[in-house]
Amino acid sequence: MSLLEIKNLDAGYEDLNVLKDVNLKLEKGKMSVLMGPNGAGKSTLLKSIFNITTITSGDIFFNNKKITKLPAHKLMDLGIAFVPQGKVNFGILSVRDNLILGIHKTKDKTIIEKKLKEIYKQFPILKEKEKEYAFTLSGGQQQMLAIGRALMSSPKLLLMDEPSLGLAPKLVKEMFESIKNIRDNFDTTILVVEHNLKSMMNVADDGYILVQGEMIAHDSCKNLKNSEVMKKVFVGELE
Amino acid sequence: MFFQLLINGLIAGSIYALIASGFSIIYTTNKFVHFAHGSTATVAAYFLYWIFSNFGLPLYLVFPLTILIAALFGFLVHLLIYLPLKKRKSSSVILLIASLALMAFFDNLMQLLFGADVKILSIFPHGKGIEILGAYITPIQIVILIVVLLLFFGLWAFSKYSKLGKIMRAVSDNPELAKTTGINSIRVQHWSFVIGSAIAGLAGILIALEHNIEPAMGTHLMIQGFTAAVIGGVTSIPGSIVGAYVLGLTENFGIWFLPSGYKSAIAFVLLLIFLIIRPQGIFGINQGNRDQKM
């Protein structure tokens, strides 16, 4: 059963149309990777699901419910979380407060503590730094914090925009392991935009290729890896 | 002389701090300069004058009612003027121009309704005051100092420990990220106007008791409040309060050396110095570029 379905989506920013007639179907419990050259519209697609772009036509369904143009805070209630590009956190708040904001609508303190424990188990460094300002964390820690905050709400669908951006190669591998763990331990469907294709395709289930705003291919990562279309779009990237 | 100037400086600083802190609360969550914030204090002061002279209600009702009206006034200004402009994607400069128009409008409206003459509110008679170390301080001034201290302790606790306080800080730090975290930023902005304007209402009451009521009072206060906020760091609420005391003390100690007519000039010189040397203010945090914005 598909958790998220995008039908004939046209979207962009004001008068600039980026996505053209995009279709996408995410299977429950799977991790999908969205690939494409720079400027293909990958981030725009993620942002469109979260309704922070201008959608001109098409529809988005979540659990068979139409969510096109629903405000972001309502999407959170439905179980969609978004980790934007660039290790973004609330710098002037503590690590702990950053995490708690991920479920700011929950009043029950025991649930909040339980969730914090789960996140700290996944990312122990955050526990160590829980009282520090978020802006004092290193790049990798900031990325963990951003993902941790998104996970606090136990999302059914997690959208991630280039989680490996700006991380050292060793950390990139750790990051992908973490994402895999999230899929398995948190029972979360994941859609991730990534440039590190080789490592990502080893852990993801499905792959989508977006070129100049159009979805040109969709298959399992296993099939995509050796496909012609892959070689054509990313010359040399996999070799 | 020294203690008198010190006390005068602290009292002036307290009143500037009331304007500056409310202004800062609104600025940090909305990211535009709400110059009509001073008019909120003016409207509150005139409301107090009107209700006190016409209805003879007891004071314990009049004061909270005035604060409530100020909060409602701020909320309506945001809902009816700023929010429609924001929805049309107006830049912060357009909102600033709108706020200047609002300021001119409400100052003149008060003049139209109540006249240009100075109104005196004689709720508490101005006595000679109490003498401390050769300086005189009136009971109202003592009340101002205490009320402001209590309020700031409350504000500090609110922003540090309460959920709404933290959410407001989150919105002020990164509004786009707040949106993707599921925070309803419009509601938070409404709250910032309600809280900031309620504080301006309190300022209106205290100024009405300490000085007099006149249509342009809010505009003058806004200049001082804005300067105080810039000195302390516009994005930091404690900073703007410290800035207010720095300004109040500098102005008052300045007239030790200069004629008292230069008071405002001192404020502007201080504003210029800070804008040139430390534009982020005393408490403004420069997070560097490690923390990337989306």
Residue A13 and residue A41 in contact, taking contact as beta carbons nearer than 8 Å: no
Q: Which residues of B touch A50 (CB under 8 A)?
A: 180
User: Tokens 């070129």 appear where?
Assistant: A211
CB contact under 8 A, B169 and A86: no
Q: Which residues of A10-32 are buried (b: 16+ CB within 10 A; e: fewer)?
A: bbbeeeebbbbebebebeeebbb
Provide the 3-class DSSP secondary structure of residue A70: coil
Rounded mean pLDDT, B211-226: 87
Q: Which residues of B touch A91 (CB under 8 A)?
A: 173-174, 285, 287, 291
Question: For position B260, what pLDDT does the model report?
Answer: 78
The answer on pLDDT for B230 being more than 50 is: yes
Axis-axis angle for helices B2-30, B163-173 (nearest 10):
70
Question: For position A236, what pLDDT does the model report?
Answer: 53
∠ CA B101-B107-B112, nearest 5°, is 120
Measured in whole angstroms, the distance separating CA B168 from the mean position of its chain's CA atoms is 18
From the number of C-beta atoms within 10 Å of its C-beta (0-12, 13-18, 19+), residue B88 rates as exposed
Name the nearest CA neighbour of A27 among A188, A137, A227.
Answer: A188
- Token readout for B194 is 């309600």
Name the DSSP letter for residue B118: P
What is d(CA A6, CA A23) in angstroms, rounded to the nearest whole number?
5
Rounded mean pLDDT, B165-172: 90
Instruction: Give B229-271 as a DSSP string.
Output: HHHH-TT-HHHHHHHHHHHHHHHHHHTTTS-GGGHHHHHHHHH
User: Tokens 């030790």 appear where?
Assistant: B256
Question: For position B199, what pLDDT does the model report?
Answer: 94
Provide the 3-class DSSP secondary structure of residue B130: strand
Name the nearest CA neighbour of B194 among B25, B64, B61, B66.
Answer: B25
Binned at pLDDT 50, 70 and 90, residue B289 comes out as: very low
| Pairing mode of beta strands A31-35, A189-193 | parallel
User: Does the CB of B286 have a partner CB in chain A at under 8 Å?
Assistant: no
What contacts 24+ positions apart, CB below 8 Å, involve A147-150?
Answer: A147/A83, A147/A123, A147/A178, A147/A179, A147/A182, A148/A99, A148/A102, A148/A119, A148/A122, A148/A123, A149/A83, A149/A89, A149/A98, A149/A99, A149/A101, A149/A102, A149/B181, A150/A81, A150/A82, A150/A83, A150/A102
Q: Which residues of B touch A86 (CB under 8 A)?
A: 292-294
What whole-number percentage of chain B has pLDDT above 90? 38
User: Does the CB of A122 have a partner CB in chain B at under 8 Å?
Assistant: no
Helix (H) / strand (E) containing B104? helix B92-114
CB pairs under 8 A between A and B: 82
| pLDDT tens, residue by residue, A86-129 | 768 898 889 999 999 988 888 888 889 998 998 898 888 889 88
Rounded mean pLDDT, B206-215: 87
Question: For position B40, what pLDDT does the model report?
Answer: 94
The answer on pLDDT for B288 being more than 60 is: no
Question: For position A124, what pLDDT does the model report?
Answer: 86
Name the nearest CA neighbour of A66 among A53, A76, A75.
Answer: A75
User: Tokens 């009320």 appear where?
Assistant: B147
A88 HSE (CA, 13 A, CB side): 22
Fold type of domain A2-87+156-233: Rossmann fold (3.40.50)
The listed range with the strongest mean pLDDT (A58-62, B126-130, B133-137) is: A58-62
- One-letter identity of residue A183: R
Question: For position B290, what pLDDT does the model report?
Answer: 46
Binned at pLDDT 50, 70 and 90, residue B293 comes out as: very low
Residues in chain B: 294
Other Cβ atoms less than 10 A from the Cβ of A86: the count is 19
Give the minimum alpha-carbon distance from A1 to chain B in angstroms, rounded to a whole number: 26
Q: Which residues of B touch A52 (CB under 8 A)?
A: 176, 179-180
Question: For position B286, what pLDDT does the model report?
Answer: 59
The answer on pLDDT for B141 being more than 50 is: yes
The answer on pLDDT for B98 being more than 90 is: yes
Q: Domains in chain B, start-ordered, CATH in brackets?
A: 2-277 (1.10.3470)
> What's phi and psi for A34, nearest 5 deg?
-105, 120
Binned at pLDDT 50, 70 and 90, residue B126 comes out as: low
What is d(CA A214, CA A74) in angstroms, rounded to the nearest whole number?
28
CB contact under 8 A, B177 and A91: no
- One-letter identity of residue A190: I
Longest dimension (CA), chain A: 53
User: Does the CB of A49 have a partner CB in chain B at under 8 Å?
Assistant: no
Residues of chain A short of pLDDT 70, as ranges, are: 1, 87, 235-239
Question: For position B127, what pLDDT does the model report?
Answer: 66
CB contact under 8 A, A50 and B285: no
Q: Which residues of B touch A85 (CB under 8 A)?
A: 294
∠ CA B273-B274-B278, nearest 5°, is 125
Rounded mean pLDDT, B197-216: 90
Q: Which residues of A touch B170 (CB under 8 A)?
A: 90, 93, 101
CB contact under 8 A, A88 and B292: yes
- ipTM higher than the 0.90 cut: no
Higher per-residue pLDDT: B139 or B16 = B16
Give the minimum alpha-carbon distance from B177 to chain A in angstroms, rounded to a whole number: 7
- One-letter identity of residue A234: F
CB contact under 8 A, B180 and A84: yes
The answer on pLDDT for B46 being more than 90 is: yes
The listed range with the strongest mean pLDDT (A23-27, A121-125, B35-39, B140-144) is: B35-39
Helix (H) / strand (E) containing A209? strand A206-211
